[in-house]
Amino acid sequence: MTNRLRVLFLAPPPELKEPAEANLVSAVGARHDFIIYDRKAPLAPQFKDIDVVIDFGGSMGTHEMADAALSVKLWQILGTGIDHFDLDYWEQRNIPVANCPGKFTGVPLAECALMFMIMLSRHWYETQENLRKGLFYKPLGFELESRGLGLVGFGASARELARRAKAFGMRIHAIDIEDVSPEEQTEFGLEFMGKPQDLDQMIRQTDFLSLHLHLNNETRHIIDERRLNLMKPTAYLINVARGALVDEKALYAALVGGRLAGAGIDVFSTEPPDPDDALLNLPNVIATPHISGDTVETWRRRAACAAENIHRHAVGLEP
């Protein structure tokens, strides 16, 4: 028999709450008591007898909430990354934590990365300027076919990008800490599959370098000045993962110094970045406001993921 649980949703600010809240109400509210946390009300009473907390993106919870979560048996993060979540603190409080893994955002992240690649290859900003000026037939772009794509990390989003890049006829190389079977390498069209020690070699060879990593102490600034200098001056950097994977000051210097052709960026070390950030105003940078993983379908999948984990807890299974 399934127990009816009390589920507390740590909602984001009003301008960000939809469609996440509506999807959660639909997926969770029918089976369980769905309660939205009120940041203007006292904290402790709202956590009384709560079984599950749903934390929007892992950024809504505080240490005080963890301390008050005496009855909570599952802290469900509605997102993938936990680089801004103090997991050690929750573990000290013996509160199990779950997230919505990369497979839930693999497709939209890959599509956004591919969008950047196409726009950069066709010199998008220059096309818009020329259109307004009435200057036709320029600039001259290039095709993605036969261009080298380097994937740093080969998880869900990188695999989805490889599927699409393979259809475009690109030469695909990848790096990951895990082994990838020969059958999978064939399936995704990989010409090369390496380990972290092969990263520099791959960087030197690729025309597009796309990042697909979690952010942690080992990956922070994995693309630094030295590695940017290894890239071809005609190459492009794509980042739809985490901003701090890249040394942004070094990236800016490489872009203005002609040591890198351009970049497609959806994520930043500080979000939101300063609107006057020089990086955002370069003609060879295409930037979006951390939307690569957010689609209508993403939020449906995340709500379903949270609902499944809550149901599993209700019937005594591990999340």
Side by side, the strands of the sheet bearing 285-287 are 190-194, 171-175, 148-152, 208-211, 236-239, 262-265, 285-287
Cis amide leading into 19 (omega within 30): yes
Length of the chain: 319
Q: DSSP code of 2?
A: P
Annotated catalytic residue 32 = no
Cβ atoms 151, 161 nearer than 8 A: yes
Q: Cα(183)–Cα(107) distance, rounded to whole angstroms?
A: 21
Annotated active-site residue in 6, 31, 93, 290: 290
From the candidates 173, 242, 311, 313, give the one annotated as an active-site residue. 242
Tell me if residue 242 is catalytic: yes
Active site residue 212: no
Report residue 84 CA to chain centroid gap: 13
Distance of alpha carbon 314 from alpha carbon 306, whole angstroms: 12
Of 308, 298, 310, nearest to 156 (Cα)?
A: 298
In angstroms, the CA 107 to CA 212 distance is: 12
| C-alpha closest to that of 112 among 264, 273, 281, 260 | 264
**How many angstroms separate the Cα of 307 from the Cα of each of 31, 55, 266, 296, 299?**
9, 13, 28, 17, 12
Active site residues: 242, 271, 290
